[in-house]
């Protein structure tokens, strides 16, 4: 027996899988993800995260609101790690315990030292302590 889901209403069908929001706070850029992040919409995160100025102190990627991430997302996080390191910037990934992102990043053994902070604000503060303004 096959189960079919009702066809989504027009507004639901056109809704994006994920919302990406970027903000800057005293030299640290934070990119927050809400929703499903996969290969079909990963370029949204890539554009928001890679397009930070060289003068930035660092980057926070907040996956606390991500309901799904896939291997392409993990690949981008490794790419971001290399990119910010080349520019002597700091990187933090926010993925609170029990979230889908935390489970996937744990399984992939993704740099636990980058995933310690439980909120974007805490991660921004950690980067500010690590890389003082004007450094």
Q: Where are the domains of the chain?
A: 17-130
Please tell me the predicted confidence (pLDDT) of residue 134: 55
> 44 CB contacts (<8 Å, ≥6 apart)?
18, 20
* Distance of alpha carbon 121 from the chain centroid: 14
Query: Is pLDDT of 16 > 80?
Result: no
Where does the pLDDT of residue 15 fall: very low under 50, low under 70, confident under 90, or very high at 90 and above? low
Can you tell me the distance from the alpha carbon of 74 to that of 34, in angstroms, rounded to the nearest whole number? Answer: 16
Kindly state the average pLDDT of the residues 87-114.
92
What percentage of residues in the chain have a pLDDT greater than 70?
Answer: 86
Average pLDDT, the chain: 87
Backbone φ and ψ of 69, nearest 5°: -135, 150
Look at domain 17-130 and name its CATH class.
alpha beta
Gap between the Cα atoms of 30 and 89, Å rounded: 13
């Amino acid at each position: 027996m096959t189960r079919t889901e009702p066809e989504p209403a027009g507004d639901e069908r056109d809704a994006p899988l994920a919302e990406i929001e970027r903000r800057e706070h005293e030299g640290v850029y934070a990119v927050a993800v809400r929703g499903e992040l996969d290969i079909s919409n990963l370029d949204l995160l890539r554009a928001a995260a890679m397009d930070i100025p060289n003068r930035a102190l660092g980057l926070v990627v907040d996956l606390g609101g991500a309901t799904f991430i896939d291997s392409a997302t993990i690949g981008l996080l490794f790419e971001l790690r290399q990119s910010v390191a080349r520019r002597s910037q700091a990187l933090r990934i926010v993925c609170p315990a029990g979230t889908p992102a935390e489970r996937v990043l744990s399984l992939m053994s993704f740099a636990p030292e980058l995933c310690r902070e439980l909120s974007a604000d805490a991660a921004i503060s950690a980067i500010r302590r690590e890389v003082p303004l004007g450094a």
